[in-house]
């Protein structure tokens, strides 16, 4: 936890003095030699509103010129001196507390819980929720696939928020902001890699969870609504991946979204409506990028949280289905 906390602090405070621009210098990150987007942004009227040409696209892979050169030395210093500092502060606090109160030492967590429970009596209802017995058959690994999917969703939320600190959802700056995250932000490449691979893992584990439920017949009465909510969550997971794929605004993202929206346009009766809604017009443009960003960070997460709450509540009330 200490390492994670230190990493998050370094990531958020990546505008340190080492990376701060000199007086009069442009605050935008320097563009790659292949595509000088930063220069086009500062030029004003000559704005790049489409992805770079394929021959000049450096974002054809998940990482854009990402490198961790010189990363471990400052990270080791943070861990070493930060850990020693926390140990020293904790030792002083514990010794002073024991000397002042003249009573046996109690961990801070126990005292905080006791202080809250003395005023609001929350320990008993929390105990019923957190310490509910689980049947032995549910301790097998394949019964944990749903929980793993939920955990990956939480990881996606945390890493997505960190990426949103630096990402700019405009045609002029989206690609450059991805380059900036990959090359300038401390741990930016790592955070984006975690977001990328956890997204893929979330889809795989969610599908595996659905297969386990189907094979074991856990969708049958009285758990029909569990199955319906699970199918909706699977669809939302796929929508997460589809909407997030356009955000780098490179050639691969542009044409993948073009093909994907064409598939939606082939739906009978409502195809044209679906196509125009996704693209905000007949072509993939900057408005499409804004639409996908809004869906990816607001609409789909809220819908996912709502359906997950209903899904877990039904499982809590009905229990885990027995194996065949």
Report the pLDDT averaged over residues 148-169.
Answer: 97
- Residue 31: the pLDDT is 42
- Report the pLDDT value the prediction gives residue 64, as an integer from 0 to 100: 40
293 with 173: CB under 8 angstroms?
no
CATH classification of 145-318 is 3.40.50.1370, yes or no? no
Distance from the Cα of residue 269 to its chain's centroid? 35
Could you tell me which residues come within 8 angstroms of residue 148 by beta carbon, excluding any fewer than 6 positions away?
Answer: 205, 209
Q: Cite the DSSP H helix spans in 67-134.
A: 72-101, 108-120, 123-130
Q: What is residue 73's predicted lDDT score, i.e. its pLDDT?
A: 67
Q: Residue 168's CB: how many other CB atoms inside 10 A?
A: 16
Residue spans per domain, the chain: 145-318
Note the pLDDT tens digit of each residue in 96-151. Answer: 877 777 777 777 788 888 889 999 988 888 888 888 888 888 889 999 999 999 99
Written as six digits, the tokens of 318 are 């009905």
pLDDT value for 100: 76
pLDDT in tens, 53-87: 766 665 544 344 444 455 556 677 888 888 999 99
């Amino acid at each position: 936890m200490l390492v994670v906390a230190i990493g998050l602090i370094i990531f958020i405070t990546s505008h340190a003095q080492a990376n701060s621009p000199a007086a009069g210098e442009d605050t935008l990150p320097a563009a790659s030699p292949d595509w000088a987007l930063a220069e086009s942004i500062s030029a004003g009227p000559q704005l790049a509103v489409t992805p770079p040409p394929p021959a000049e696209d450096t974002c054809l892979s998940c990482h854009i010129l990402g490198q961790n050169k010189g990363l471990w030395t400052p990270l080791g210093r943070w861990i070493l001196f930060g850990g020693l500092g926390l140990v020293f502060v904790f030792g002083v606090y514990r010794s002073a507390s024991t000397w002042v109160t003249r009573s046996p030492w109690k961990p801070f967590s126990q005292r905080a819980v006791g202080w809250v429970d003395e005023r609001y009596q929350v320990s008993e209802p929390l105990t019923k929720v957190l310490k509910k017995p689980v049947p032995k058959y549910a301790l097998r690994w394949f019964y944990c696939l749903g929980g793993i999917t939920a955990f990956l969703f939480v990881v996606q939320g945390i890493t997505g928020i960190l990426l949103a600190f630096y990402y700019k959802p405009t045609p002029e700056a989206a690609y450059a902001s991805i380059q900036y995250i990959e090359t300038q932000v401390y741990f930016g490449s790592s955070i984006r890699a975690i977001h990328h691979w956890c997204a893929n893992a979330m889809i795989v584990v969610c599908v595996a969870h659905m297969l386990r439920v189907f094979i074991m017949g856990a969708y049958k009465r009285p758990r029909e609504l569990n199955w319906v909510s699970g199918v909706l969550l699977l669809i939302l997971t796929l929508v997460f991946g589809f909407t997030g794929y356009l955000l780098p605004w490179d050639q691969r993202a542009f044409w993948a979204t073009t093909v994907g929206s064409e598939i939606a346009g082939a739906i009978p009766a409502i195809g044209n409506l679906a196509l125009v809604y996704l693209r905000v017009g007949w072509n993939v443009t900057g408005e499409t990028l804004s639409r996908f960003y809004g869906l990816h960070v607001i609409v789909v997460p809220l819908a996912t949280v709502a359906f997950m709450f209903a899904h877990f509540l039904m499982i809590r009330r009905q229990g885990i289905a027995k194996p065949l």
